[in-house]
């Protein structure tokens, strides 16, 4: 599963940014956040998707922080940075990749501690 999550993180970095580059080309030479937000609510379908992502991503980010702390994971700052600067579609699968790696580490440590296990 971890390699699938890593592939999704890569796709989540590339595909949204291809759309962002199209937006930059069509709106000028920089990323106009105000215009981007305005266009994200330009019609009921866009507003629905934007609100859905905002609420869902907020809930998942809260879980990511809590789960990272619970499992004492490394890499949380990178995950959060990716969510904010690259795309949530990159950061969330990156977190799942790191989580799978951490769970495997914990399982290996448990087996090493209890060889009869």
pLDDT above 70: residue 117: no
Residue 106 CA to residue 26 CA, distance in Å, equals 48
Residue 16 CA to residue 35 CA, distance in Å, equals 17
Mean pLDDT, residues 55-83 taken together: 98
At 28 the pLDDT is 85
Q: 100 is in which domain, residue-wise?
A: 2-113
Entry field: residues in the chain:
117
Q: For a pLDDT cut of 90, what percent of the chain falls above it?
A: 88
Asked whether the beta carbons of 90 and 5 are under 8 A apart, the reply is no
Q: How many domains does the chain have?
A: 1
* Cβ neighbours of 102 (radius 10 Å): 17
| Residues 76-99: tens digit of each pLDDT | 999 999 999 999 999 999 999 999
- CA R_g for the chain: 18
């Amino acid at each position: 599963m971890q390699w699938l999550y890593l592939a999704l993180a890569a796709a989540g970095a590339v595909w949204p940014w291809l759309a962002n580059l199209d937006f930059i080309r069509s709106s000028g030479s920089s990323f106009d956040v105000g215009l981007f937000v305005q266009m994200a609510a330009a019609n009921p379908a866009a507003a629905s998707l934007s609100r859905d992502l905002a609420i869902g991503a907020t809930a998942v980010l809260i879980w990511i922080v809590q789960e990272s702390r619970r499992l004492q994971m490394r890499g949380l700052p990178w995950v959060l940075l990716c969510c904010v600067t690259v795309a949530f579609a990159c950061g969330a699968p990156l977190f799942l990749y790191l989580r799978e790696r951490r769970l495997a580490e914990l399982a290996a440590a448990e087996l090493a501690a209890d060889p009869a296990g």
